Amino acid sequence: MKFAKVTITLLCIIALFVACTKSDKNNGSDNNTGNGNNNPTPQPTKKELLTNAVWQVTGATITTKQNGKDTTADVYGQMDDCEKDNRITFMSDGTYTVDEHTNKCTGEPQSITFTWALLENDTKLALVDSNPDTLNVNELTTKRLVISITKPNPPNEPVTARQTLTNVK
């Protein structure tokens, strides 16, 4: 599946998780008052944020050094339209599915399933597929997931790949 290969390749070069969560606003009330008791509204876990969404890539970049300066290239703009509408769903059983959605790339299966796990206090996302890797979670909210990974690139200049995904559920 072309999108899966591109996504996995990007994710393999993306430093992905330093997760943070937006405050959950419950009917406009404060988390500690206004709900008739003094119990704070529980915040969703990182796993709940990840699994209670359907994710779609809305941005992708690669950053490296050229002539001593950081240079960032837009990878998302180079993706085919049939890759941009793909949907990624993380299930609570530790599997995730990449679905081609409505604009299916020619010759690709409609969907493919792999495994995943949150690691290191939910700051890392391990994706186990044909090219397994562990990504940094830079941001994880109900609406947005930003992942990245940094890897060496000959001649030992680091390359950072970063993807932004939006919850389209």
pTM score, whole prediction: 0.74
> Which DSSP symbol is given to 76?
G
First to last CA, the chain: 22
Collapse the DSSP code of 102 into the 3-class scheme (helix H, G, I; strand E, B; otherwise coil) and give the result: coil
Percent of the chain with pLDDT over 70: 78
User: What is the reported pLDDT for 28?
Assistant: 42
Q: State how far the Cα of 75 lies from the Cα of 34, in Å rounded to an integer.
A: 46
Give the domains, in start order, of the chain with CATH numbers. Answer: 2-23+49-167 (2.40.128)
Q: Please name which of 62, 86, 47, 58 lies closest in space to residue 9, comparing C-alpha atoms.
A: 62
**Residue 129 CB contacts under 8 Å (≥ 6 apart), including other chains:** 4, 8, 114, 115
The larger pLDDT score, comparing residue 50 to residue 27, is at 50
pLDDT band at 158; cut points 50, 70, 90: confident
User: What is the reported pLDDT for 75?
Assistant: 95
User: What is the reported pLDDT for 124?
Assistant: 96
Query: Is residue 133 pLDDT above 70, yes or no?
Result: yes
Q: State how far the Cα of 43 lies from the Cα of 52, in Å rounded to an integer.
A: 13
User: What is the reported pLDDT for 40?
Assistant: 85
Encode pLDDT of 7-38 as tens digits: 444 443 332 322 333 333 444 444 444 455 67
User: What is the reported pLDDT for 93?
Assistant: 96
Q: Please name which of 166, 23, 148 lies closest in space to residue 84, comparing C-alpha atoms.
A: 166
Query: Is residue 153 pLDDT above 60, yes or no?
Result: yes
Q: Please name which of 154, 96, 102, 169 lies closest in space to residue 128, comparing C-alpha atoms.
A: 96
Q: Please name which of 126, 127, 102 lies closest in space to residue 4, comparing C-alpha atoms.
A: 127
- Mean pLDDT computed over 133-139: 95
Q: State how far the Cα of 42 lies from the Cα of 34, in Å rounded to an integer.
A: 15
Q: Of how many residues is the chain composed? A: 169
Encode pLDDT of 54-90 as tens digits: 999 999 999 998 777 889 999 999 999 999 999 999 9
